[in-house]
Structures are given as structure tokens and as C-alpha cells.
Structure 1
Amino acid sequence: MTMQTAHLLDLPAQLEPAISAATGEMEAGRDLPEKLVWELRDSGAFRLLTPRELGGFEAPLETVLKVYEGFGRLDASAGWIVWNANWGFIGALLDEPGNARIWGPGPEPVFAASSMVGTAVPCEGGYRLSGYWKLVSGINHADWFAAAAYIKDGDDVLLTEEGMLDVRFFMLRREQLSVKDTWNAGGLLGSGSHDVVVEDAMVPGELVARVDVPARIRRPRYQGYIPSLVVPGCSAVVLGVAQTAIEETVALAVSKRTVTGGTLARSAHTQAVIARSEAALRAARLLLLSTARDLDLAGENGEPVTLERRAALRAAMSHAAQVSREVLTAMYELGGSASIYRGNAVERLFRDGTVALQHHNHSAGFFESAGRVRLGMPPALPVF
């Protein structure tokens, strides 16, 4: 383990006191407190994937996922924001003039993004961007919004040379968009996942990134399929949430009495559920990390990140989501009536985890797309 890797893996533990102190404010304010956001930023938690010349760590994906998981163990919303703010890799795609706009004088930029897609029309000097993006976590604290959009010519959506939909990333300043206060959810409240509206905003070409061409920075981290640096982070966060749910249930089981007079921990059913859940979760974690390691090694060895490797990552994500949902449900059920009360750790973990599992990236449909690739067919998704 390198010194940098050890430092990054220690970040969740370093931020634990600040995150714990902010828990109540997160729930009440439906967002991360401003103070916590800047503590996360200043610790380096938002520049895990940023190129070195822009002040980032340029860390391997496997390491990044372990960091996300670590934050997810502490708090789902904090982990979610750390994941969604790590868009510094965009600096490997943009040319130097675009990077100079984003990483200019002043504090480190904070990003937010959404998995939704808008539309962009070419114009002189760049593009006119419009759209409605739901669930933009951390947008109230972001300096820049990374908006995905299709390129349109009239009513037609343009295709790339490979015949795929032409989806690009557009970097918008905070003042170019409107935030709709829509985040009133059952869980993950501290993520501040409000909606964003953009109406005919001018985005200069130097702030538009393509993912279907080689990155400008020709180093291992950025030579694969760039969206693969983004999509698995949510799965790592949920694995962390599910692991903490097991730990909290184990702690509860030692003292919680059952109707027969013994403790929950003495029940053979409890013992079997805990063991099965932990084994399944560990296996899902190892699978996700192994697919990430495969992508890291491909970049380091100059090998292509093939569609098959991407399909393996997507299948690992869907598997992690499926297992995490089963574990969260099992822990909630084991807790009995204790699990229904606010203030019980498992109650909040269940709410946060199940909301996080509703993310598009956790859709079971990705199993189908991964299966299509295994059977020699295209995945039939624009970003896979």
C-alpha cells in the first residue's frame, strides 16, 4: 500500500467526528451543513479522481471505491455527496483553456452532477443547453454543474461515429441554472438532492467534454471508458451502509429481549441471518472491487477497457445493490419493533440505504444489458 493510498483510506476516519456532529442538522436541513462540506473539500475528499496537475490524487478506482464505502459506513448522505462531487476527472478531458476557467484562482471547485440527460444545440462558439435534471445531490454547495446532454440537430439526436447516441458533459457555472427545492424524501435527506433547470444556457466549447474520444491526459487513470470512473461509486456507498446495518444489529441483538425471554443474539435464526448476510455482503464487495481493479490494471497495462469489462462492472454493481437491499431488509426485520423508531440507528440506515438503492445506476435492468453483452449483443443503453 502506497502512502497516498493509506492517506486516502484514512479520510473517513479523519472526518468521522465532523460527520457525527452534523447528523441532526443533515436530517433537519435536508442537506449537508456548509461547514461539513468545506471540511470534506479541504480534506481532499472531493479530488480523488482529479488529475495531479490540478491538485488531485488521480487515485485508482479500487481505492476510490474503498473511500466511498468508508464514508457510507459513517453516513449515507455524506458518502453520497463525496461520490457525486468527485468530478475532477473532467480535467483530463477538457483542454487547458477550459480547465483554467474551472481551476482558476481561489478555492478548489466543488462539483455536482446528475444521471439525467438534457439536450444541446450547436451554436457559434459552443452550445445552447437546456434541460431538467432531477436528483442533483449537493447542488446547493456546488460551484459547477456537470450536465450530461444529447447533441441535437433540429429534432434529430446525433450519433457518434460508432453509431451510439452522442452524449457529452457540459460544465455550467452555478449562476447559469435554477435549483428547485424538491428534496423531501424518506431517506438520504442530508444529500440535498434537488432538481436543476437550465434554459438555453450558452456553454463555450472549451467547457464541453466528449467521452467517445481519448482523454487529453494520456495516463492510465483516464484511458478507459470515463463513465466507469463515476457509476460504481453509488454501489460502494450502499455496501458501506449495509455493513453498518449489520454492525448495529449485532450490537442490538446482545441486549434486545425476545418474547421467549432470551436475547435476540441467542436465537438460532438471528445467528444464521447475520452470518448469511455478512458473507453475502463481503462477497459482493470483493466482486465490485475486483472489477474495479481489472479496469485499473487495464489502464496501467495499456489494454482497452472492453465492453465485456464494462459489463462485468455493471453486473457487479447490480449484484451489490441486490445483496445490499436483502441485507438492509434482513437487519430491519431482525430489529423487530425497535427498527421503526426514529433515533434507532437501523431505522435511519434502512431509510437511507433503500433510497440510495433507487438510483438509476442500481436498476436491475443493467443485469439484462450485461447479459446482452455476454451473449454477443450491444447493451442497448447510451451510457453503459
Structure 2
Amino acid sequence: MGQVLENIAQFADEIRAEGAEGDKLMRLTDSSAKRLRDAGVIRMLQPKEFGGLECHPREFAETVMGIGAMDGATGWVAGVVGVHPWELTFFDTKAQEEIWGENPDMWMASPYAPMGVAVPVDGGYILNGRWSFSSGTDHCGWVMIGAAVGDEDGNRTNRIMHVLLPRSDYEIDQDSWNVVGLRGTGSKDFIVKDAFVPAHRTLDADIVMSGNGWRHAGRDETLYKFPFSCIFPLGITSSLIGISEGALACYMAAQKERVAVTGIPIMQDPHVLYAIGDAAAEINASRVSILETVDRFWDKTEKGQEVSFEERAIGRRIQVSAAWRAVRAVDEVFARAGGGAMHLKFPMQRFWRDAHVGLTHAIHVPGSIFASSALTQLGGEPQGVHRAMI
């Protein structure tokens, strides 16, 4: 167990207990957010010169899994918000100083989807728009978001940037998050009206997504040379695997003394025992496959070797299939959990809801990823959107 996970694991019972409260609040409780902050979870991929830990991505993934198994929403926020310091490393140093200079524990929310338009003006851009699904946003002092660059008439162009905004430049719509699962993530909408974004707080999205962020920023650490298409989905899928592990743990605890309506103790029912064993194996396979990809990509990157498009496409296929495999396994045990699992006073139903909502994230859509990986292995060359996020 890594040091950060050890730091947070001592509060596992409290985080589990506060998951129900976060579900009602539709955001993390203040104390759960403070525990993440104090444990250093969000600084794991942050550069050392700004108080970060520069951890191996595997340790980050294992930490997020561990937190997700305690409470799904807390794990999700750790995984999503925890990736943003990695990208901030590629921005102008002035922007890093603004965010981390006085507070290395400053958090940034997202999303990257270009839901707004930034119109060029002297010294920067004027930004307008509304963004959805900003996980953990109530506990963040900044956002790192996608925006389309506008022309002189304010119309969207094909150029996409990632931009940084302080909390004073946007308004959170507190009524915009009322969902069936991952309620505690507080993934609310926020609105930006005529905010000025200085040029040093912007970064062309292609620089990051192409894997050239480290060159742009003049960095040579293995962590920052690591492929974007592996590290960006890592926090999200790791939290989902952790959620699945948490669901399985809840199920196992509840079944030890359970007797089915047939009068047969669950521990004597070979059919249920088979389902448990199969689900446990599938969830473990999801964990192992995603961590193996991280280790393999790290080893190549550390040796100065390029991780090819084909390898990245296969890595994304592994990551997406891991998510689906883990959630299908949760369904298998949940369907055999009995009526008691439906009670809101028990956490298993929350893990089940969180797992299904987590699976809907765009990073888990298999279509183009599976097609692109297969086409590449057959000697083809995916084009356009079929290369996106690979």
C-alpha cells in the first residue's frame, strides 16, 4: 500500500459513513474533501516544485481504487480532480504560480468538453458558455475547461483550447445536479459570462492530446512524458473498478449469514458461490489489466521509447473493457443479493447506482475505441474522430 493510500485508509470508516450524507447533499461532505486534501491524494501527479509528489501512475490508480471501494463518489472526485495537476504542468509557469504559488493544495475542476467559446482580444480571450459535469466543483478554487476559439464574429472554429479560470469568474448552478448515481460527486453545471482569460492561462488542446505537452513545457520527467490517452482515463476507470470492489465487499459481508427463502444458507448454495467466484475473478481481472497497461507504458516511456498509436489504441480498449467487465460483475452479484440490498440504509445499492452512472462517462464508450484498435491491428489507419482520445 502506498503512503497516500495509507494516509486516507485510516479514515475508511468515516468516508464510508459520510457517503450516505454526500448522496443527500449531492456533493462530497466538507470532511471527506478535507481528508482527501490532507492525505495528499490530489497532489500525487503534481510537480515537486509546487509541493507535489510526482507519484508513479500505478500508485495513483491503486489509491483511487482504494478510495472508490470506500465510497464511490469520493473515489470519483479523487480520480477526476487528481489528474488535473498533471496537465497544469504543461501550462505557462505563471499560471502554475497563480494556482499553486500560495496553496499547493488548490483543486481544479473540469470538464474538457469545449462547451463554450473564447473570442480573441488583446492579451487573451473573452469566454462565454455553460459547462456540465464538473465533478467536485464545490471544493475547487479553479476550473480547467475546454473551449472552442471563436472568430471575430464570435462563431466557433475548429481550434480547441484548455483554459483556466478562478472561482470568481464563474457561477455554479447548484440546482443542476440531481441524478441517480454518483450523486456525491456534485458534478454540477457552471456558467461563464464575459470572463477575460489571459493568454498564459490557455493551452492548445492538441499540444496535450498529441502527447507533446512535456516538450512544450520543457519537462523531461517520465511522469509528464506519459501518454495522455492512458493517464486521463486512468483516474476515472480506476474509481469505477474501486466502486466495483466496494460493491463486492458489501455483498460478501451481507451474504455470510444470509439464508435464502428456500431455507438454504448462501454458503451452501453452489450456484451462488459460483456467481460470487466468477464476479470476483472478473473484477480482479479488470484491476490487473489496467495496472499492467500502466506499468508497460511507464517502462517504455522511462526507456525513452515511444508508445505507438497501436499500443495506445489497445491500451484504451483494455481500459474500456475493464470498466464494462467490472460493472457486469457487480450486476451478477447484485441480482443475487436479495431484497435487503435494495434498502437505502445499506451501501450496496449506492455502489450499484454509482457503478452504472460511472460507466456512462464518455471515456467508457467502446464503439470507436474498439473499432480503431481492431483496424490498427489489421494494418489500417483510423482517421478523424476515430483517433480521438487515443
TM-score when normalising by structure 1:
0.91
The range that moved more, 372-381 or 198-207, is 372-381
- What residue identity is the alignment partner of 1:25? E
Equivalent AA in structure 1 for residue 180 of structure 2: G
Residue identity in the other structure for 2:382: P
Residue 378 of structure 1 corresponds to: 382
Instruction: State the distance in 2 between where 1:247 and 1:304 align.
Output: 39
Shift of 1:76: 0.4
Mapping 1:239-278, distance limit 5 Å: 239-278=241-280
Task: For 1:55 and 1:85, locate their aligned partners in 2 and report how far apart those are by CA, in whole Å.
Answer: 16
Q: Distance in 2 between matches of 1:368 and 1:15?
A: 42
Corresponding residue number in structure 1 for 2:228: 226
Q: CA deviation at 1:373?
A: 3.4
Query: Is 1:131 the counterpart of 2:129 in the alignment?
Result: yes
Q: 1:44, CA displacement in angstroms?
A: 0.5
- What is residue 167 of structure 1 aligned with on the other side? 160
1:334 aligned residue? 336
Deviation at 1:115, TM superposition (A): 4.3
Does residue 16 (structure 1) correspond to residue 2 (structure 2)? The answer is: no
Mapped partners of 2:383, 2:25: distance in 1: 40
SS of residue paired to 2:64: helix
- CA spacing shift, 1:143–1:135, aligned 2, 3 Å: same
CA distances 1:43-99 after superposition (whole Å, capped 9, x unpaired): 211111101111111112111111110111100000011112211113420122121
* In structure 2, C-alpha distance between the alignment counterparts of 1:196 and 1:290, rounded to whole Å: 37
Q: Which residue is equivalent to 1:36?
A: 32
**Cross-structure match for 1:346:** 348
Mapped to 2, the partners of 1:279 and 1:114 lie a distance apart of: 33
Residues 50-129 of structure 1 mapped to structure 2, 5 A cutoff? 50-86=46-82, 87-106=84-103, 108-118=105-115, 119-129=117-127
Q: Deviations over 1:242-261 (max 9, x none)?
A: 12222222222222211221
Q: Once the two structures are superposed, what CA deviation does each residue of 1:147-189 show, in whole Å capped at 9, x if it has no partner? A: 022334354634xxxxxxx433211111111212211111111
C-alpha distance in 1, partners of 2:226/2:243? 29
1:227 Cα offset (Å)? 4.7
Residue number among 159, 181, 187 corresponding to 2:181 in the alignment:
187
**CA distance 1:202–1:28, shift in 2 (3 Å):** same
Q: Could you tell me how far apart the structure 2 residues matched to 1:247 and 1:363 are? A: 27
1:21, distance to aligned residue in structure 2 (A): 4.0
Quote the residue 1:206 is aligned against: 200
Evaluate the alpha carbon distance shift between residue 41 and residue 72 of structure 1 in structure 2; reply closer, same or farther with a 3 A threshold. same
Distance 1:131 1:335 in 2: 44
Whole-Å separation in 2 of the counterparts to 1:25 and 1:9 = 22
Determine the structure 2 residue equivalent to 1:280.
282
Q: Deviations over 1:298-355 (max 9, x none)?
A: 3211122322232122111211121122111111101122222112232121111111
Distance 1:377 1:235 in 2: 26
Bigger mean CA deviation after superposition, 317-326 or 127-136: 127-136
Give the partner amino acid of 2:21. E
Alpha carbons 1:369, 1:380 under 8 Å: kept:
no
CA contact (8 A) 1:62 1:292 kept: yes
Deviation at 1:135, TM superposition (A): 1.0
TM-score of the pair, normalised by structure 2: 0.89
Q: Distance in 1 between matches of 2:304 and 2:134?
A: 34
Amino acid corresponding to residue 87 of structure 2 in structure 1 = I
Whether contact under 8 Å (1:332, 1:350) holds in the other structure is: yes
Kindly report the root-mean-square deviation, in angstroms, between the aligned alpha carbons of the 2 structures. 2.0
| Amino acid corresponding to residue 55 of structure 2 in structure 1 | A
**1:22 match: secondary structure:** helix
Bigger drift between 275-284 and 64-73 goes to 275-284
- For structure 1, the 5+ residue unaligned runs are 159-165
Aligned length: 373
